[in-house]
Structure 1
Amino acid sequence: MTEILQTPKLVVVFGGSGFVGRHVVRALAKRGYRIRVACRRPDLAGHLQPLGNVGQIQPVQANVRVRWSVDRAVQGADHVVNLVAILHQSGRQKFSTVHEFGARAVAEAARSVGAGLTHISALGADLDSGSDYARTKALGEKAVLETIRDAVIFRPSIIFGPEDSFFNRFANMARYSPVLPLIGGGQTKFQPVYVGDVAEAVARSVDGKVDGGQIYELGGPKVLTFKECMEELLDVIERKRLLVPVPWWVANMQASILGLLPNPLLTKDQVMQLREHNIVSDAAAKANRTLAGLGIQPQSIATILPSYLWRFRAAGQFQQRKPAA
């Protein structure tokens, strides 16, 4: 009797060429899925090809602000993953168009082809937030659940990993600056989560192992203040720098100027976000809507940071680590 081979599921990943995207694509490729990476510049997505077998990963052009391109990208999809987000506004890339309009466009396109949906939001998403980023993230979640009631939504805290824009940025700053700023005194709490753990959660949702219609909050194993994050970073790169508290009003003044740069180091909206803690809520923890609830053991920054921040040490990979006190 001839055995009929089943074609692997087709997963469309919007924003799959970015920091989180490449790890999600890797996790899906390991499972044998066919992957279509929808991104604005598919010509710059060549780094994804080695993550899978020949022909397994296909970059295609799509822009969540352009609805017809979204509809075209999801044709034949079994599952859709939306990772698209921006940290600051520039040109036509606005929070409302990317986080809200884009989220609804992807959800409606997924519904039109009968595909499942996994949507990445962010801890701190709040319809009543004074931050445009946090408010539009919440509006995006609302649009997704209104469109596909059994969609899976993940809210990660600050995501760290080899290409992150948080620890890498401050570690690079520490190479040249004798001081590191602590916005608002550095007492804002974070729960940094490893990008590989977030990717595994997404992959499990595609596997059908995550209950839909729920919002899951993803945080690492340890809650750290902004100041403690900087201390951990400096310990890893073995540099001594002065940590200087920056009052909120001074941070707002600095953000007003820095926010005018093409790739700003700080914006007023980010200062607003830093006024709120970025940790998993008690409600999510009690309901088991966390990494642990998904059966994933979160990895700590102490384990992962040395694997990629070594290049910011004075002698890079050749510097010998000092023995622990």
Structure 2
Amino acid sequence: MAKDYVKGDIVTVFGGSGFVGRYVVRALARRGFRIRAAVRRPDLAGHLQPLGGVGQIHAVQANIRNRKSIERALSGAAAVVNLVGILHETGRQRFDTVQAAGAGAVAEAAAAAGITRMVQMSAIGADADSPSHYARSKAIGERLVLAAIPQAVVLRPSIVFGPEDDFFNRFAALARLSPVLPLIGGGHTRFQPVYVGDVAEAAARALEGEAQPGATYELGGPEIRTFREIMEYILAEIGRKRLLIPVPFGLARLKAQVLQLLPKPLLTVDQVRLLEHDNIVSQAAIADGRTLAGLGIAPTAMETVVPTYLGRYRRSGQFTQPGTRMV
């Protein structure tokens, strides 16, 4: 489709101050959009200001559990991107209210405001019949969004990497403290790590009309690696030798019942359920062109980005040469 936006249009980005959000905001700012970052704590979104010109990016208070705040955030906007999601439940932040009903509320309010351009961030593995509550809520959110705005574009990335990610950083930090790393399910689950900058570019292009209206795109990087291979890569990159211990899914679920009680859970039962299935781009998406390549984006290899931020986990930080083995 040809680009149909007007330079200076307001795009409301729900969750704009988060990991993926800051990259989406930057990609949109570079295209001349004005961005309204709808976040729960605007006072903590100051890091977005340098990503655009003076007055181009503005943070406003909004909570997708509050319909009135959604409507205020959408006032005068020409398009909307919803990036809000949670990795685990805590307090009033529940999968159903945030990733299902919340996504639906944003789309319904956007439709009521006459907005027809929307990008919904989901995840590979979203499935209404999944044993994972996370995956089910993502699928329900997709369905509600498309019901309200049929031409909306859904993006499903695999695990996303980048300087602020919660995957490579988490395991690198764990390796710095623990002599062993668990391989859930034996470490056979396959992933297709995708660079956060590529995900942001996909969102921007979809908003510009370069994606198939109403389509669901699956976003993965150029390589497929098992969980074990990723752990081995992290250890090699931070120069630490650790024992990789296979943990059967059944035992992992039992351990997760305890670990998920921590203030910031190291592992939840729901996450174990997700690990029971591969997290890669489907052959159907590849055949239909519903991928990064289909959007004209060449996927970035993790080797070109991950080393730039894992250096701090080496014994002497960035001054230690990659691949140097240490205890």
- Shorter-chain TM-score tier: over 0.9
- Which amino acid counterpart does residue 242 of structure 1 have in structure 2? L
Note the C-alpha offset of 1:321.
3.7
Which residue of structure 2 lines up, in the alignment, with residue 212 of structure 1? 213
Residue in 1 aligned with 2:3? none
Q: CA RMSD in A?
A: 1.1
Could you tell me which runs of 5 or more consecutive residues in structure 1 were left unpaired when the two chains were aligned: 1-5
| Residue 240 of structure 1, CA deviation | 1.1
* Structure 1 equivalent of residue 58 of structure 2: 58
User: How do 1:163-182 and structure 2 match up within 5 A?
Assistant: 163-182=164-183
Deviations 1:110-150 (A, max 9, x none): 11222210000000000100100000100000101111100
Structure 2 counterpart of 1:37: 37
* Aligned: 1:305 with 2:286: no
In 2: Cα distance, 1:308 partner to 1:7 partner: 34
Q: Distance in 2 between matches of 1:288 and 1:206?
A: 17
Give the AA of the match of 2:304: T
Determine the structure 2 residue equivalent to 1:121: 122
Instruction: Report the secondary structure of 1:118's partner residue.
Output: strand
**One-letter code of the match for 2:141?**
G
* Residue 11 (str. 1) matches residue 11 (str. 2): yes
Matched, 1:86 2:80: no
Matches for 1:179-190 after TM superposition, within 5 Å: 179-190=180-191
CA–CA distance in 2 between the matches of 1:258 and 1:146?
37
Q: TM-score, normalised by structure 1?
A: 0.96
CA contact (8 A) 2:238 2:323 kept: no
| Distance in 1 between residues matched to 2:286 and 2:314, nearest whole Å | 37
Equivalent residue, structure 2, for 1:3: none
Q: For residues 198 and 71 of structure 1, do their structure 2 counterparts lie closer, same or farther at Cα, with a shift above 3 Å needed?
A: same
Q: Distance in 2 between matches of 1:77 and 1:98?
A: 22
The one-letter code matched in structure 1 to 2:39 is C
Match in the other structure for 2:134: 133
Q: In structure 2, what residue type is equivalent to 1:70?
A: I
In the alignment, structure 2 segments of 5+ residues that lack a partner are 1-5
- The count of aligned residue pairs is 318
The equivalent residue for 1:73 is 73
Contact 2:260 2:266 in 1 (8 A): yes
Q: Distance in 2 between matches of 1:322 and 1:158?
A: 24
Deviations 1:174-203 (A, max 9, x none): 111111110010000110100000000001
1:108 equivalenced with 2:108 (yes/no):
yes
The share of aligned pairs that are identical, in percent, is 62
Q: Which amino acid aligns with 2:197?
A: G
Give the distance between the partners of 2:193 and 2:321, measured in 1 at CA. Answer: 26
Q: Distance in 2 between matches of 1:260 and 1:7?
A: 48
Residue 199 of structure 2 is matched in structure 1 by 198
> Any conservation in 1 of the 2:7–2:32 contact (CA below 8 Å)?
no
Q: Which runs of structure 2 are paired with 1:134-283 in the superposition (5 Å)?
A: 134-283=135-284
SS of residue in 1 equivalent to 2:264: coil
Instruction: Please list every run of at least 4 consecutive aligned residues from structure 1 whose deviation after the TM superposition is greater than 4 angstroms.
Output: none
CA distance in 2, matches of 1:305, 1:237: 11
Task: State the secondary structure of the residue aligned to 1:185.
Answer: helix
Give the TM-score normalised by structure 2: 0.95
